Chain A
């Protein structure tokens, strides 16, 4: 498809190899997910031209960046790159850092300096030197700097990995704003499941230099045949909208294709698009709905059954209309319920997490 990113790289280093052949969507956020050493950062560096795979082909929106006879050096690629650790130029102020790439950029300017400063909330930091910023502030400046070159492709290499939980929570909303307000495709490397489910539209799972799963986020997360080892974080996401608010009980209803769920009210207007995350451990299956403290009970149909990481546990994929949920239960409970593909039953959802 036009706008897509075709990436084929093969490289062999002592003790480490990468061999990928991927087509990534030319819009939205694609997460490259995997354990450290899985080759996801190397793949990103190959896309940026910071690493040169001897055998490779990279086509971004019908433009060849690398193949057998062509090699576009990094500084000629219309990318923005956010590094894992702070990478601000120590000899320049925040504003100097922002302008560095901007004044060298020959491409039409799609993101203005003010817009970049505004999106990342760094207007009050412009005159400071980088060594006077906190870790979170530095990363925000790094992101604004990458945006200020008006990239056609934004590459982010674990931009939150060096930050503690609190700083991370402080930055995630800014990343979501980028996603919502700018039409720039993003490739986001991460090993943190919470970042991936919150930000990604498309998920590529890597292990030992190979791609083990690749597809839209919800599909990839609910594949039972693949080792997308999220452990306690196994679950899925639903794209939904606020459908109703129950002010008396401080609850809101989120509607998705196939049903609706009640969640804690976040004061969002009706119709607001939200992404909700439902963890497999918070979903249980029942034959008949009865009296329960759990209010979210939906009719569903068993789609598939897979093994979980522990031999006593199973992951069951159920369909609710077009939507899919994962439920984690013991294999004994699954046997007692007679769970098999096609079985109609009810799901109880104990908890729903709002992602934005």
Chain B
């Protein structure tokens, strides 16, 4: 069956995707909320920036991130000043890169969900003494819950599937940055087709199950009645 190296790669992948999903829940929610409700002219440019990773080759994104996090990049100088060292070729470097890479997969479903909730339930909450923050957590979030579920699953799955950005930022360090997709690449490079088959099958089944859940089990959207 799967070798210890393979299991280590899978565990690393799951850990990376889980952490990235959590960070993006915290980071993507306010962005999506703002995009859903703002009428500012710079909403357009911000939307475009958020969507960039959808169309950009991962190597391009990875290249810029590598420069930014490198010894002379702004992020690199900051992390060095904070005594954190440099991020490239570390697990946390992968996390930062994946956050950028998967950002649209969190923001866009959430934005759609918040837009569908609309203004009215929040107005209702205000007339029932709820402050804006209170209304956000007790009305907007519960009503947008299907959107949160979709966004989290897509973000997780998309992070599991990343390859190009990992190679650019993380390289191929076992137990640190060697995720499942890179492990498959290594197997193929080493002509270990049997191992590559097994791991690839795991990825295939996982991806299929995720999509099956999204399309077949998705709860009916419950919006402000």
Q: Is the CB of A131 within 8 A of B128?
A: no
Whether the pair A73, B128 counts as a contact (CB closer than 8 A) is: no
- A73: chain B residues at CB < 8 Å are 126, 131
Stretch at the interface among B53-61, B116-124, B194-202: B116-124
Instruction: Report the minimum CB–CB distance from B52 to chain A (whole Å).
Output: 34
User: Is B129 in the interface zone, CB < 8 Å from A?
Assistant: yes
Q: Give the segment of A79-87, A212-220, A223-231 that binds chain B.
A: A79-87
Is A32 part of the binding interface, using a Cβ–Cβ cutoff of 8 Å?
no
Which of B73-81, B154-162, B217-225 sits within the interface? B217-225
Residues of chain B lying within 8 A (CB to CB) of residue A173: none
Closest to B142 in A: A91
Interface membership of A58, Cβ < 8 A: no
A138 proximity list for chain B (CB < 8 A): 225
Q: How far is the CB of A332 from chain B (nearest CB, A)?
A: 53
Q: Is the pair B129, A83 in contact by a Cβ cutoff of 8 Å?
A: no
List A contacts of B223 (CB < 8 A). 90
Bound Cα distance from A107 to B158, whole angstroms: 49
Determine if A101 is an interface residue (Cβ-Cβ < 8 Å). Answer: yes
A186 to chain B, nearest CB (A): 14
Residue of B nearest to A100 (CB): B128
* B126 with A87: CB separation less than 8 A: no
Q: How far is the CA of A106 from the CA of B121 in the complex (A)?
A: 21
Q: Does A88 contact B (CB under 8 A)?
A: yes
Q: B120 contacts which of A83, A91, A146 (Cβ < 8 Å)?
A: A83
Cβ of A89 and Cβ of B126 under 8 Å apart?
Answer: no
- Scan residues 92-133 of chain B and give those whose CB is less than 8 A from a CB of chain A: 120-121, 123-132
Q: Give Cα A21 to B199, complex, Å.
A: 74
Residues B60-94 near A (CB distance < 8 A):
none
Give the CA-CA distance A149 to B128 in the complex, in Å.
7
A81 CA to B131 CA in the complex, in Å? 16
Pick the residue among A75, A86, A146 that contacts B131 (CB under 8 A): A75
Give chain B residues whose Cβ lies under 8 Å from the Cβ of A116.
none
Residues of B within 8 A of A326 (CB): none
The size class of the interface chain A forms with chain B is 20 to 34
- Let me know if B134 is at the binding interface, CB within 8 A: yes
Residues on the A chain within 8 Å of B142, using CB: 89, 91
How far, in Å, is A166 (CB) from chain B's closest CB? 21
Give A93 to B86 CA distance when docked, in angstroms: 52
Given A130-B225, A131-B225, A138-B225: A87 touches B121 (CB 8 Å cut-off): yes
CB-CB under 8 A from B134, the residues of chain A are 75, 104
Select B127's contact among A79, A86, A89, A106, beta carbons within 8 Å.
A79
Known: A74-B123, A83-B120, A104-B134. A91 touches B128 (CB 8 A): no
Q: Is A182 an interface residue (CB 8 A)?
A: no
The residue on B at minimum CB distance from A91 is: B142
Q: How far is the CA of A75 from the CA of B126 in the complex (A)?
A: 5
- A54-85 CB mask vs B (1 if < 8 Å, else 0) is 00000000000000000001111001110100
Q: How far is the CB of A133 from chain B (nearest CB, A)?
A: 9
Residues of the A chain whose Cβ atoms lie less than 8 Å from the Cβ of B124:
81, 83, 87, 89
Q: Indicate if the CB atoms of B225 and A74 lie closer than 8 Å.
A: no
- With a cutoff of 8 Å between Cβ atoms, the chain A residues found around residue B135 in the complex are 75
Bound CA span A79–B143, Å: 24
Q: Mark B130-158, 1 if CB is under 8 A from A, else 0.
A: 11101100110011010000000000000
Enumerate 11 A-B pairs (CB-CB under 8 Å) in ascending A order: A50-B123, A75-B125, A75-B127, A75-B129, A76-B129, A87-B224, A89-B143, A91-B145, A101-B129, A104-B129, A146-B127
Interface, chain A (partner B; CB < 8 A): 48-50, 73-76, 79-81, 83, 86-91, 100-101, 104-106, 130-131, 138, 145-146, 149
Q: 16 additional contacts, CB 8 Å, given A74-B123, A88-B225, A100-B138?
A: A50-B123, A73-B131, A74-B126, A75-B132, A89-B224, A90-B223, A91-B139, A91-B222, A100-B130, A104-B128, A104-B129, A104-B134, A130-B225, A131-B225, A145-B128, A146-B127
Task: List the 3 closest pairs (A to B, CB-CB), nearest first.
Answer: A101-B128, A81-B127, A104-B129
